[in-house]
Copies of this chain bind each other. A is one copy, B any other.
Amino acid sequence: MSTKRRGGRSRPTTSGTPRSHSYRQLQHPFTPQAIFSEDGVARIHEMALRVVQDLGIKILLPEARQIFEAAGALVDHDTQIVRIGSDLVEAALATTPTSYRLRGRSVLRDQMFKDGSMLFAPGAGCPNVTDLVRGRRAGSLETYEETIKLQQSFDVMHVFGPSAEPQDVAPALRHYEMMRIQMECGDKPNFVYARGRGQVAQSFEMIQLGNDMGAQAFDDDVWCFTVINTNSPRQLDVPMAEGIIDFARANQLSIITPFCLAGAMAPITISGALVLQHAECLAAITLAQLARPGAPVAYGGFSSNVDMKSGSPAFGTPEHIKLSIGSGQLARHIGLPWRSATGAASNTNDMQAATETNMALWAQLQANATLTVHSAGWLEGGLTFGYEKFINDIEALQTIAELCQTTPEDAESLGWSALSEVEPGGHFFATQHTMDRYKTAFYEPLVSDLRNHGAWRDDGAKSSAERATKIWQNTLRDFKAPHDSTAVADRLAAYIESGKAKGGAAPADG
């Protein structure tokens, strides 16, 4: 209890008032769109219930099967198939929270995870990184730290993500570095990989240490999240099931994310792929609620299509857009906040890369996704995180964030004074109405260059990718860690040293 109070004292007790044009807490500017009728959504939901009840889900973790069995599900331990009655699913949905505060170490970074909120997360899970200076290479401790610093530096990145993990660190020790760097370099909500119980438990302990709080304070709030990818179709592996259980028991957020590629791991139709996605989500959400009723667990979808020429996953396609909008309808049908994703299959910083990500981004706006993952930096369908792509995507996200500002429609804004002052064919540059507003009226671009062709050419004719190099370099050069970074490092050092000396925690086998 004393630790809880100590944790509380180290933070402001009232929510910070965001400055004007802050991108820190955003609400969706657009009302959600639909691709299905209400009846259609209900039919997809009903068929998903039938999938989990009649076909069942193969669950590789014995403990998870036992949890389901104890609750009344039909379990075949030989085939590992668990058939979950719709009564169980409905009971789980009744206890799943629809709103919770996802906390950062700084209260200014707190996010309400609920319908209507608009959160962005960086491109994540990439084995490689690339930039125009150093080329394409495997992610390392150095680039992990750089990408966390880039994420911390832009307010429109609301939570951390593992853009590329440090592959030069042994798998059993990697989580130490990933948690340490997130907390030393930043104050946003943390991401934890669900790669086995040891790593998860130690990551939770590090968050408590880093944020200077005790177990109860940690349990009272949601301080981190993980992404649970099912093994579509209809399968949940050991670390994923462990992750659901362990996050639920610790009151931390697991985001269920089937990766349903229509035509490959899912039916080829939009509605069919969503039946499967929805079924897998419902089963995983039920497991979380059985592990701890009321645990924060989010609906998720990252369904797209495969390119029928290459067999590769596609992003920003009409199918990806439709699947996103349909996912939003299903999430709202069961009343849960949810995550989606942008993405790009392009192999380089070209118009394809931008178009794929922008199309997918606008899909999430139409879909009112609560959290949009991979929203900056993804290339090659997630195989590479691009520094210059990240900067260009941030421009797009900031453009969207600007739309969340109310547009003034009062008499002063309408500008009769200026309209009556300027002669026909004249200009408004010198009116008082303009002078009063010109410094803050418009979004100031981050990387876009709006100069004319001659000025641009004379300045080296740089593409937006080339210009982005200087921006990420300067961002890293000027990076300032949060004020309490040294204290965080001090609190974590002994724990990590001791953990490393004991060999760390091996990731679980799938």
A residues apposed to B, CB below 8 Å: 29-31, 33, 35-37, 39-40, 43-44, 47, 50-51, 54-55, 57-58, 81, 136, 231, 233-235, 262-272, 275-276, 305-310, 312-314, 316-319, 321-322, 326, 345-356, 358-359, 362, 365-366, 380-381, 383-384, 389, 392, 395-396, 399, 402-403, 405, 407-409, 411, 413-416, 418-420, 422, 424-429, 431, 433-434, 437-439, 441-445, 447-453, 455-457, 461, 463-465
Q: Once the chains are docked, how many angstroms separate the CA of A339 from the CA of B478? A: 45
In the complex, besides A39-B409, A308-B438, A317-B443, 10 extra interface pairs with C-beta distance below 8 angstroms are A43-B411, A233-B422, A233-B426, A265-B427, A265-B428, A269-B437, A306-B442, A309-B450, A312-B451, A383-B453
B348:A351 contact, CB within 8 angstroms: no
Tallying the copies of this chain within the complex gives 2
B316:A399 contact, CB within 8 angstroms: yes
A351:B233 contact, CB within 8 angstroms: no
Which partner residue on chain B sits nearest A422 by CB separation? B233
- 15 residue pairs bridging A and B, Cβ less than 8 Å apart: A37-B409, A50-B416, A54-B420, A233-B419, A267-B431, A268-B428, A271-B407, A308-B444, A310-B451, A348-B463, A350-B465, A351-B464, A355-B358, A355-B464, A358-B359
Q: Once the chains are docked, how many angstroms separate the CA of A262 from the CA of B99? A: 40
* A272-B413, A317-B442 known; A353+B352 contact, CB < 8 A: no
A308:B442 contact, CB within 8 angstroms: yes
A414:B44 contact, CB within 8 angstroms: yes
Which partner residue on chain B sits nearest A317 by CB separation? B443
Chain B residues within 8 Å of A44, by CB: 409, 414
B235:A424 contact, CB within 8 angstroms: yes
B384:A321 contact, CB within 8 angstroms: no
Q: Which of the residues B51, B318, B389, B448 comes within 8 Å of A352, measured between beta carbons? A: B448
B57:A424 contact, CB within 8 angstroms: yes
B312:A414 contact, CB within 8 angstroms: no
Chain B residues within 8 Å of A264, by CB: 427-429
Q: Which of the residues B271, B356, B429, B465 comes within 8 Å of A263, measured between beta carbons? A: B429
Q: Once the chains are docked, how many angstroms separate the CA of A31 from the CA of B306? A: 29
B443:A403 contact, CB within 8 angstroms: no
Chain B residues within 8 Å of A266, by CB: 428
A441:B317 contact, CB within 8 angstroms: no
Chain B residues within 8 Å of A427, by CB: 233, 264-265
3 tightest A-B CB contacts, nearest first:
A272-B415, A40-B409, A318-B402
B322:A441 contact, CB within 8 angstroms: no
B450:A380 contact, CB within 8 angstroms: no
B396:A355 contact, CB within 8 angstroms: yes
A319:B442 contact, CB within 8 angstroms: yes
Chain B residues within 8 Å of A272, by CB: 413-415, 418-419, 433
Q: Once the chains are docked, how many angstroms separate the CA of A61 from the CA of B354? A: 46
Q: Once the chains are docked, how many angstroms separate the CA of A51 from the CA of B366? A: 36
Which partner residue on chain B sits nearest A415 by CB separation? B272
Return A468 CB to nearest CB of chain B, in Å. 8
Q: Once the chains are docked, how many angstroms separate the CA of A447 from the CA of B354? A: 13
Chain B residues within 8 Å of A408, by CB: 269-271
B403:A267 contact, CB within 8 angstroms: no
Q: Once the chains are docked, how many angstroms separate the CA of A399 from the CA of B361? A: 14
A351:B389 contact, CB within 8 angstroms: yes
B452:A310 contact, CB within 8 angstroms: yes
A407:B270 contact, CB within 8 angstroms: yes
Return A470 CB to nearest CB of chain B, in Å. 15
Return A291 CB to nearest CB of chain B, in Å. 21
A269:B351 contact, CB within 8 angstroms: no
A449:B355 contact, CB within 8 angstroms: no
Q: Which of the residues B351, B380, B426 comes within 8 Å of A353, measured between beta carbons? A: B351
* A322-B403, A457-B347 known; A271+B409 contact, CB < 8 A: yes
A465:B345 contact, CB within 8 angstroms: no
